[in-house]
Amino acid sequence: MGHHLGPSGLLILLPVLSSCDALGSPSVCTLEARPGIVVEVRDSLTGAPAASGALAIARDGLFADTLRGLDLRVAGAHERPGTYGVSVTKSGYRDWSGAGVRVTSGECHVHTVTLEARLIPT
């Protein structure tokens, strides 16, 4: 981790995480938190984005995360590998669910799994 003094004399820690990729070239890991699961929520009849007002939850054992977002996509389970069941509920639509969604660890971050939930109007 690099250390630098900021303009006010405060010590600022600048993380530098590095490793080597499959070709032996150095790669730099970032501090961003990447979602393990992204769900694109659409109306099954029109294909229009339908995530607004939907409740999406990812569960892995005792862990549960409410997936958040707007309009089209919701995301969650940030930097958490596991095997998830995902459910999406929205007023005016049938519930949608997916099981066995496997999120794996990568070198620096999880490998994000993207799902498409096509909600059927009731």
Distance CA 24, CA 6 (A): 34
pLDDT digits (tens, 9 = 90+) for 78-95: 999 999 999 999 999 999
The answer to whether position 8 is within a domain reads no
pLDDT digits (tens, 9 = 90+) for 9-41: 444 443 444 444 555 556 689 999 999 999 999
**75 to each of 9, 42, 102, how far by Cα in Å?**
38, 14, 15
Number of helices followed by number of strands (H, E) in the chain: 0, 12
- Say if CB 105 and CB 34 are below 8 A apart: no
| Residues in Cβ contact with 118 at an 8 Å cutoff, skipping those fewer than 6 apart | 42, 43, 44, 96
Domain CATH code at residue 61: 2.60.40.1120
Q: Please report, rounded to a whole number, the percentage of residues in the chain having pLDDT higher than 70.
A: 78
The answer to whether position 9 is within a domain reads no
- Structurally, how many domains does the chain consist of? 1
- Say if CB 88 and CB 39 are below 8 A apart: yes
The answer to whether position 14 is within a domain reads no
The answer to whether position 28 is within a domain reads no
